[in-house]
Chain A
Amino acid sequence: MAANIESFREWVPIRIYTRDSEPFVDWCYAGSARFTEPFFNDTIQRILRRPFSVLFRHQTQLDFLRELETECPGLDPTGFIFHMSRCGSTLVAQMLAAVTKNIVISEAPPIDSIVRYRGATADSRRDALKWMVGALGQPRSGCEKYYFIKFDSWNILDLDVIRSAFPNVPWIFLYRDPVEVIVSQMRQRGSHMVPGAIKHSLPDLGLEAALQMSPEEYCARILGRICESAAAPAMDPNSLLVNYDQLPDAVGDLILPHFNVSFDADQIRQMYEAAQFNAKTPQLFFEPDRESKRSEASDTVRQNAEKWVVPIYERLEELRRDRLVKL
């Protein structure tokens, strides 16, 4: 009993897992559902409210994605969003998702699993990433034209693999004042801020040493490394650096032109309407929090920001201004 490969257009790969040392893909039926929630898993959670999607799930070998890519290629990616975390990337993704002709995949675990997988060659990861991006970029309603992917913040550490798979796709890197980002992480730490949770994030630092340092220092070191990974290729014409301070106007003024896309007036209005809401909790209106974050910053936060992140943040700012001069 084999399913028609065409029918997989309405199914979504939701996770990769290992069975008998082989990578497998778990799929759920999504029909014409759009990815409108702040994160990929939030949308999957909504889809899994449908009993059918919970009970009847395809399980395929990872290589099946290659067949799907051949038979039913998804949209080509329009633009990639990288970020240092807590810096407006979800806002940008939510603004793009407000326009129905856009597919926006935000921090999808199946993509992260491939990008971070160390048990295969770089070429195998590159190929698997192309297939997975194709599977997630299937047009479901017929009106989709553009396809954006927001990666997990730590995925920029593997930018070489992503760029080898998609050398011509324009990308942006979003960043923010380091003190404000560290304060946000101290309020509620992301998984990459837990020592050992994301392997290879600080290759020169052993787990024991990481566990002995303050959370502020570990966080600052991770943020520094993420920003360094963005600074090195920042003169690539496919890249664009965007500071949180430039949002939300930068979406229409800089990011859309960089991604070579144009929206009509109605779509621009929809996009900026989405910016009025809290990106991660869209039921609430957006409230500026810069002052509260700065006033909450402890000396430990400030010292570690200064030591581990501010120099590379200032370098990003220089690079961003240099690019503006050249444009």
Chain B
Amino acid sequence: MIVRDFEFFRRMILSDETLQEQLRDLTERDQFVTRVVELGEIHNCSFSIAEVDEAMREGRRVWVQG
């Protein structure tokens, strides 16, 4: 089994609207992060909740700082 990282998974989501639809409408953060990790496992991508949390913090930071 090929295990890929979070960046690979992120690119996969961004290129696949069907996958996006499974995540877009989740508004509660913990539920969203859990679902991201589950979807990653389904697609042979291995990363932790902590990695997703860190990626979200980074996403917010770059926007706030411009």
Contact = CB atoms under 8 A, between A and B. Distances in A.
Interface of A: 1-4, 7, 14-15, 17, 26, 28-29, 31, 44, 48-52, 54-58, 109
Nearest to B62: A26
Given A26-B62, A49-B27, A52-B20, 19 more contacts: A1-B11, A1-B12, A1-B14, A2-B15, A3-B15, A17-B62, A29-B24, A31-B24, A48-B60, A50-B24, A51-B29, A51-B32, A52-B24, A54-B60, A55-B10, A55-B36, A55-B52, A56-B23, A58-B14
Contacts of B52: 55
A116 to B, nearest CB: 13
A2 B11 CA distance: 9
Label chain A's interface by main secondary structure: mixed
21 contacts: A1-B11, A7-B17, A17-B62, A17-B66, A26-B63, A31-B24, A50-B24, A50-B27, A51-B29, A54-B56, A54-B59, A54-B60, A55-B10, A55-B32, A55-B52, A55-B59, A56-B10, A56-B13, A56-B14, A56-B23, A109-B66
A52 B60 contact: no
Label chain B's interface by main secondary structure: helix
B17 A48 contact: no
Contacts of A58: 14
